[in-house]
A and B are shown apart, each in its own frame.
Chain A
Amino acid sequence: MNGIAFTLRALHHGERHLAGQLTAVAERHRTEHEVHHVAQDLAVWSRAHVAHLAEAARAHGLDLAASPGAPAAGVLSSLRERTAEAVARRPEPGLLLLRDLRGLHLSAAENSLYWEMLAQAAQATRDEELLSVVSTCHPQTLRQMRWTNTLIKNLAPQVLTSL
């Protein structure tokens, strides 16, 4: 497997992961209404990225799933269970929210770096098709990062000073 295929596979995994993570965070923070709704909207972006990557991967001899699929029931329910436990254990759900937003931010940042690598490789190999996928998707990954960053910035003062 060459480097581009390797990166495509890694990013495909990363976007699937982020889509699942955004859906899980939306579930877990139903009462943080803006987080709940926007995270679902942003999961749609990651799912579209997965489809684009699967399409692009075919040209590189890779067979990747075109959709993240419904997150396995087991995964989701175990997530919910862990959430319930976490919330029960912690007096401050705000802290859990900050932790989740940080997790989303790091995943999106990782994906962004992969997009960056793909963009560079696509330019080096004059792979117009891949470059067009990157230029469609990467800006949305950056917007996902800015969103988590903004929320952390806005929520942290209240959450951290009210414990």
Chain B
Amino acid sequence: MDASVDRIAEPWGSRTPYDRHGTWPARVDTHLEAGVAPDQVERWVRAASILHSDGDAMDIAVVDGRMAGVRGRVDDRVNRGRLGPKDAFGWQANASRDRLTRPLVREGGSLVECDWDTAMERVTARSRELLTERGPGSIGFYTSGQLYLEEYYTLAVLARAGIGTSHLDGNTRLCTATAGEALKESFGCDGQPGSYDDIDHADVIALFGHNIAETQPVQWMRILDRLEGGDPPRLVCVDPRPTRVARRAAVHLAPRVGTNVALLNALLHEIIRAGRVDHDYVRTHTVGFEELASRVEQCTPEWAARICDVPAASIRAAAELLGAADRLLSTVLQGVYQSHQATAAAVQINNLHLVRGMLGRPGAGVLQMNGQPTAQNTRECGADGDLPGFRNWQNDDHVADLARVWNVDPATIPHHTPPTHAMQMFRYAEQGSIRMLWISGTNPAVSLPELSRIRSILRRKGLFVVVQDLFLTETARLADVVLPAATWGEKTGTATNADRTVHLSEKAVEPPGEARPDLDVFLDYAARMDFRDKDGGPLITWHDPESAFEAWKRCSSGRPCDYTGLTYDRLRGASGVQWPCNAQAPDGTPRLYADGITWAHPDLCESYGKDLVTGATDDVVEYRSLNPDGKAVIRAADYLPPHEAPDEDHPFQLTTGRTLYHFHTRTKTARAPQLNAAAPDVWVEAASSDAVALGLHEGDLVEVGTRRGAVRGRLRVTDIRPGLLFLPFHYGYWDTEGGHGPGGDTPGRAANETTVTDWDPASKQPLFKTAAAALRLVERGDGRVAPAPTTTASAPSRTGAAPATVGGPTALVTETDAPPRGRRTQEAP
């Protein structure tokens, strides 16, 4: 049956209910530009979304050499043909008239167009000069979560072995570093234990700081379909906002921000007290249980209730659901990762699964999620502060093995310190020891905390900034050299989503003007720099995406993220394969740790662990004595109060976050008309009791101020927890007079004008969710309303306080029921 649904007004589309242990029914979502009928499409080219970490598989419609729409791929394991609103509409940004089409270099203070030779000569000349005068430590690379595997791997090789610098990280630091760190702490190695298919089998799904309805909308459709079917799961939601998830939850806990560890310790306390521990599993597969049990002994629900400001009875009810679950699926995202004690809290969620033996079976799993779509690739390729292939920088054998793969001397690969994380790279740039920063596919002038500081660093005399992107972003405006990049649909490469599913995305159309794939730019740089291996041959021996993929396979061989069973041709067949995929697992691996813990042995593990409070690294001797047999490590953590508490001047807590219709600094989503119209400008959310107390109303222009800066936006009164303010992040300045910051007609508009420079000591992920803030009226709304969607967590608390968010005729998506093609058989529980 075909139906057209306004997917701005109804972002999760129509329901296709199914029963527990059943197969999620397929349905094809299609959106074509006005006037294009399906039979006019000349080619459908395979791709996967890079606007969130779901990795929705889709095909790009090509008409007359241009993109004209998309449709979900029906046989894919991730989305079974469905598209989220960002998938359906985001592609239009590619054809924006303001795409960068030629390189730019700074001349006399302004950026002027030039040819590629001129731009690349500037970059290589500066690189050579710095290498000679100041050494490899003066050059840093800051990349994205939106490039392809082949590009990250190439960048990792040229940075680590070509330049020889420790300074390479991805903006995945802002969204997924804690996921990776928590997995390393518990399982000795990165790699998602669970699978999205666990949604089909779980009887309890716990979402910790994870507004999945807005960040992974297609998997929320899957949960909604189960909620409408037989034997539906019960949801536990931990979120201070009234999200769609919270509204469907059996238990909703809205803790004071910054108190996750207290809450989780109380949940663990209750589970242990009630005798819900799977002692066989704990004995066979873990170390550290006694320490955890003794540390949470005093953490009663009443104790946590005082810290978190949630009812003790609700904590007990949540613990009862988690403790009695037959198959428990937990998912975790920024409410944990970008908050105080991020890694400590994420690790307690792993502990919950370890003590309950809830891993490695259909429905029993934990998804330490990603925010950025190809974050998994930065992590496995070593472009985000790890060594490629989940190798351990403290293990000389691992470094030697990597040196063998690259045919370089092990001393070439810096491993005397851990790879530098992004926040430290910006600090080095601030102090002047990093003098060249090459930023690819990301926009720190909007996405990092305390933006006035970041802008001053990027503008710093003596810092040479290279920006490689699609548009003249806020960051690009401050660069010395701007390189125009090709993107999704204009280049070929692979991307791995949050549940380890690898997709091939192929080139559908030509990039505009002289824009080039990021891979070509990196290869060009490596060739101009003439990087060599130890025999004098070229360090980088590949020349296109497929040969880069083959090179990566050699690097991944024998490692947890083993890709050796995959080829481009294979990925053109069955859609979506989960790594490891090799001779032992030719069809991929749905769940890690089905047969116990695999990679935590001292000789194999990626990390020996870190102190969750101080971030101090453990060494091999400590790790070996703690965990000689390579079991999962249960690491306890005490609650610490957040570093910034409300006071008289700043009486509110402030949290920030992504919402349904926008993605990373809105570089693309603000250029998709339907998405932009649904949430065109920043707004401020406050609880109705706080609004009443301050005499504020929906639509009033208010200012949120912290010790770092201020943001102005119209007020939306919601059911958010009292005492808390929310700002949607990543509204920037490219579409304002200011260009790269507040100014002209625009006061502070980016949430990160206000956020604190502080990060989790273990994962080094910045904290965007624990600032103290003041709220004041700037100007009465006089009947205006906040530009916030009504379909999401920002729905007004009073029905009818704002007109419903709709997309209209241009936001129609065709939903076609499709019989499953029978590729996957029903999984036995």
The yes or no answer to A143 lying at the interface (CB within 8 A) is: yes
Name the distance in Å between A105's Cβ and chain B's nearest Cβ: 11
Q: Mark B697-727, 1 if CB is under 8 A from A, else 0.
A: 0000000000000000000000000000000
By a CB distance below 8 angstroms, the chain A residues around B761 are 34, 37-38
Interface of chain B residues 596 through 617 with chain A (CB within 8 A): 611, 613-617
What's the tally of chain A residues with a CB closer than 8 Å to chain B? 26
Known contacts A38-B761, A40-B643; is-contact A147 B433 (Cβ 8 Å): no
Are the C-beta atoms of A34 and B759 separated by less than 8 Å? Answer: yes
Interface of chain A residues 114 through 163 with chain B (CB within 8 A): 143-144, 146-147, 149-150, 153-154, 157-159, 161-162
Are the C-beta atoms of A161 and B614 separated by less than 8 Å? Answer: no
Are the C-beta atoms of B134 and A143 separated by less than 8 Å? Answer: no
Known contacts A153-B417, A161-B135; is-contact A37 B643 (Cβ 8 Å): yes
Name the distance in Å between B36's Cβ and chain A's nearest Cβ: 51
Chain B CB within 10 Å, residue with most, of A41, A92, A158: A158
Are the C-beta atoms of A157 and B614 separated by less than 8 Å? Answer: no
Name the distance in Å between B139's Cβ and chain A's nearest Cβ: 12
Name the distance in Å between B745's Cβ and chain A's nearest Cβ: 32
Q: Mark B387-429, 1 if CB is under 8 A from A, else 0.
A: 0000000000000000000000000000011101001100110
By a CB distance below 8 angstroms, the chain B residues around A158 are 137, 420, 428, 433
* Cross-chain contact of A38 among B424, B430, B615 (Cβ < 8 A): B615
Of chain A, the residue at the smallest CB distance from B449 is: A33
Are the C-beta atoms of B614 and A38 separated by less than 8 Å? Answer: yes
By a CB distance below 8 angstroms, the chain A residues around B420 are 158
By a CB distance below 8 angstroms, the chain A residues around B643 are 37, 40-41
Of chain A, the residue at the smallest CB distance from B618 is: A146
Are the C-beta atoms of B758 and A37 separated by less than 8 Å? Answer: yes
Name the distance in Å between A49's Cβ and chain B's nearest Cβ: 15
By a CB distance below 8 angstroms, the chain B residues around A154 are 417-418
Are the C-beta atoms of A143 and B433 separated by less than 8 Å? Answer: no
The yes or no answer to B431 lying at the interface (CB within 8 A) is: yes
The yes or no answer to A94 lying at the interface (CB within 8 A) is: yes
By a CB distance below 8 angstroms, the chain B residues around A157 are 137, 166, 416-417
Of chain A, the residue at the smallest CB distance from B764 is: A34
Considering the chains assembled together, what is the distance between the CA atoms of A149 and B614 in angstroms? 11
Interface of chain B residues 712 through 766 with chain A (CB within 8 A): 757-759, 761, 764
Are the C-beta atoms of B617 and A41 separated by less than 8 Å? Answer: no
Are the C-beta atoms of B616 and A146 separated by less than 8 Å? Answer: yes
Are the C-beta atoms of A150 and B137 separated by less than 8 Å? Answer: no
What's the tally of chain B residues with a CB closer than 8 Å to chain A? 31
The yes or no answer to B138 lying at the interface (CB within 8 A) is: yes
By a CB distance below 8 angstroms, the chain B residues around A81 are none
Interface of A is mostly: helix
The yes or no answer to A71 lying at the interface (CB within 8 A) is: no
Known contacts A42-B614, A157-B416, A158-B137; is-contact A33 B431 (Cβ 8 Å): no
Considering the chains assembled together, what is the distance between the CA atoms of A146 and B433 in angstroms? 25
Of chain B, the residue at the smallest CB distance from A140 is: B613
Considering the chains assembled together, what is the distance between the CA atoms of A158 and B418 in angstroms? 12
The yes or no answer to B640 lying at the interface (CB within 8 A) is: yes
* Cross-chain contact of B613 among A31, A33, A143, A161 (Cβ < 8 A): A143
Of chain A, the residue at the smallest CB distance from B428 is: A158
Are the C-beta atoms of B138 and A162 separated by less than 8 Å? Answer: yes
Are the C-beta atoms of B616 and A150 separated by less than 8 Å? Answer: yes
Interface of chain B residues 215 through 270 with chain A (CB within 8 A): none
By a CB distance below 8 angstroms, the chain A residues around B138 are 162
Considering the chains assembled together, what is the distance between the CA atoms of A33 and B426 in angstroms? 12
Known contacts A38-B615, A146-B616; is-contact A162 B134 (Cβ 8 Å): yes
Are the C-beta atoms of B758 and A150 separated by less than 8 Å? Answer: no
Name the distance in Å between B2's Cβ and chain A's nearest Cβ: 55
Chain A CB within 10 Å, residue with most, of B134, B135, B614: B614
**A-B residue pairs in contact (CB < 8 Å), sample of 30:** A31-B430, A33-B423, A33-B427, A33-B758, A34-B615, A34-B761, A37-B643, A37-B761, A38-B761, A40-B643, A41-B613, A41-B614, A41-B643, A44-B640, A94-B431, A94-B433, A143-B611, A143-B614, A143-B616, A144-B614, A146-B614, A146-B617, A149-B616, A150-B614, A153-B417, A158-B137, A158-B433, A161-B135, A161-B137, A162-B428
Top 3 nearest A-B pairs by Cβ distance? A162-B433, A146-B616, A147-B614
